[in-house]
Amino acid sequence: MNPRQATQNLATFFETLTPQSVAQLHTLYDAQAKFKDPFNEVQGLAEIERIFRHMYVALDRPHFLIATQLVDGSQAFLTWEFRFHFKRFDTATLQTVRGGSHVVFNESGLVTLHRDYWDAAEELYEKLPLVGGAMRWLKKRANT
């Protein structure tokens, strides 16, 4: 499969991801794929599935919107918005995390590396009760 089609398939998968469709990750990821984000660094399909299953346990109505797809050879970079509601805190307010994913495909069009880039302090911690005030104060101090 060509990398452009593999990238489009991956984008469509994440935009339509559900708790049930997590089980279909094997159609897009190599069995030994590596995944890294600000909270996790794992290898293997079972571990990657565990992370995405946990997302549905920890958050309410998580949803990805893919904004950009850039493909270069066997790799791609996708920019996205991840939208969700907290289950424990302010459940009424829609939260948005903006980030990007670098992915590498093998010759079969399966993901072998998926690395997410996003600012956990700005995009998540600043939005939490108690922690958020301290994070905003630290950010302000660092900028002066």
pLDDT tens column, 64-79: 999 999 999 999 999 9
- 144 found inside a domain: no
pLDDT in tens, 52-107: 999 999 899 999 999 999 999 999 999 999 999 988 766 678 889 999 999 999 99
User: Per the structure, how many domains does the chain have?
Assistant: 1
- 32 found inside a domain: yes
- 128 found inside a domain: no
Residue 131 has which token pair? 């922690």
Q: In terms of residue numbers, what domain contains 89?
A: 3-118
Instruction: Please tell me the pTM assigned to this model.
Output: 0.83
Residue 67 has which token pair? 């904004």
- 22 found inside a domain: yes
43: CATH: 3.10.450.50
DSSP 92: T
| Edge-to-edge strand ranges of the sheet holding 95-105 | 41-43, 29-36, 111-117, 95-105, 75-86, 59-72
- 49 found inside a domain: yes
Residue 13 and residue 84: Cα distance in Å, rounded?
A: 17
- 43 found inside a domain: yes
Residue 18 and residue 51: Cα distance in Å, rounded?
A: 13
Q: Which three-class secondary structure state does DSSP give residue 94? A: coil
